Structure 1
């Protein structure tokens, strides 16, 4: 028997209720959510918006809310807490050098999960993405990971998805370029005004699931600095790989 805490937080309780309803019952309209919780429609809308922001919900073309990737996808197979602890000092060093935001990403099926973020020090900067999920084929780190897989594996992954979401032939062509150059660039593919550079992190396992990315306002992205950024990114990835090799991480 689980009793409600004496000092429960109603907004948290309502958000968790909505997440459970989405996972167990399926699509939900804002008016349905408001009725289920006994709150105003505006309150239900704000709660659902936060669930979307954190990946617990998403909205379809009919404006219904559905369970988001965090509720649909299996937990990351990587030991994320240990991976994050190992990588964090290297992410901090890269962020200090670039003054830009740096992320550690783990790819689960077709989604890129941000498991660590070190924000840049400049006033105009990309914010904390920790806990967020983005489509792997759009995120720089996600594409860097996908490029380590064979075209047959990528085709098998996306052929069962909604074919209207992406052009699979164009994705495969892009991944060939990423494979040749060793890094991926996301130029405003996920957010207007944000550009990111990502590189995969290889471990003892044959399947690569992790990447590091540098994210910056597009206004500060300069092609003449790309080689410099990629070199620093590659050095950071190498240090993380060496740390993984010296631990029990699979």
Structure 2
């Protein structure tokens, strides 16, 4: 009888720790990896070289970068995410009709993770990326999810200082609870330069009433975005995404080529 050997948990943990520190665009040296992970230099070097060998990392002289295999797996993970697939065409249509940046995000502890980001003209002005994170208390998508996350999640978040990326970010428990109560009443959330200076966003939860699984948001320059005009299309898109996901469909009627050929309506301008 053949028995399966237990997985080398300690080695797996070390690999995860190393991969987690690659959160920038410029790669890391061995010394930087050792500093960030606290691993012994010899162990870190051995694991890094092994990851290079299996294409999870690549080495460019003295720096290590995420490799093509990681990129491939990340792309597959995004494609296999059923909610993201159900939302794709709806988000494309919303981005096309408003002319602004559209996000799909999930709540993960005190932060949101961006599952998708669409839009062209203002993309570089919005500091977000697919797979990236942002504080939930500063973003419209994050607040739209926090409003229904429950007291345990909120107490855990409030056990540490709230992040303040801009001078107008929410910094107190009282202000946060008041805003979340307003979001519950209206089913919509706003970000008025709270996540980044010069940006305004409106977000809506995606999911069954009172139990969202994700949120969508539309963001753009403060001077171009009319948040109140965006409420209806953002809310309608969130409902359409949930309907498509619940029905097991991955696209609404029509296709992206047809959407792209429709005239753009500058809803928020």
TM-score when normalising by structure 2? 0.59
The residue that corresponds to 1:242 in the other structure is: 243
Q: CA–CA distance in 1 between the matches of 2:122 and 2:25?
A: 32
Q: Please state if 1:188 is matched with 2:197.
A: no
Matches within 5 A, 1:126-137: 126=126, 129-137=129-137
Matches within 5 A, 1:163-202: 166-202=171-207
Listed as ranges, the gaps of 5+ residues in structure 2 are: 1-23, 40-62, 67-77, 165-170, 251-269
Superposed CA deviations along residues 79-99 of structure 1, whole A, max 9, x for unmatched, are 972221211110000011101
The residue that corresponds to 1:230 in the other structure is: 231
Listed as ranges, the gaps of 5+ residues in structure 1 are: 1-10, 27-46, 52-77
Q: Cα RMSD over matched residues? A: 3.6
The residue that corresponds to 2:72 in the other structure is: none
CA distance 1:176–1:19, shift in 2 (3 Å): farther
Judge conservation of contact 2:122–2:220 (CA < 8 Å) in 1: no
Residue aligned with 2:143, SS:
helix
1:24 corresponds to which of 20, 37, 52: 37
Judge conservation of contact 1:104–1:117 (CA < 8 Å) in 2: yes
Matches within 5 A, 1:8-47: 14-15=27-28, 21=34, 24-25=37-38
Superposed CA deviations along residues 61-118 of structure 1, whole A, max 9, x for unmatched, are xxxxxxxxxxxxxxxxx99722212111100000111011101011101101111011
Q: CA–CA distance in 2 between the matches of 1:123 and 1:13?
A: 20
Instruction: Point out the structure with max Rg over C-alpha.
Output: 2
1:219 corresponds to which of 212, 216, 223: 223
CA distance 1:80–1:141, shift in 2 (3 Å): farther
Residue aligned with 1:158, SS:
helix
Aligned-residue offset at 1:155: 3.5
Larger RCO, structure (CA 8 Å, separation 6 or more): 2
CA distance 1:164–1:113, shift in 2 (3 Å): closer
Q: CA–CA distance in 1 between the matches of 2:27 and 2:208?
A: 40
Q: CA–CA distance in 1 between the matches of 2:186 and 2:201?
A: 15
The residue that corresponds to 1:96 in the other structure is: 96
Residue aligned with 1:85, SS:
helix
CA distance 1:216–1:109, shift in 2 (3 Å): same
Aligned-residue offset at 1:25: 1.8
Q: Give the paired residue count.
A: 186
The residue that corresponds to 1:61 in the other structure is: none
Q: CA–CA distance in 1 between the matches of 2:101 and 2:90?
A: 13
The residue that corresponds to 1:117 in the other structure is: 117
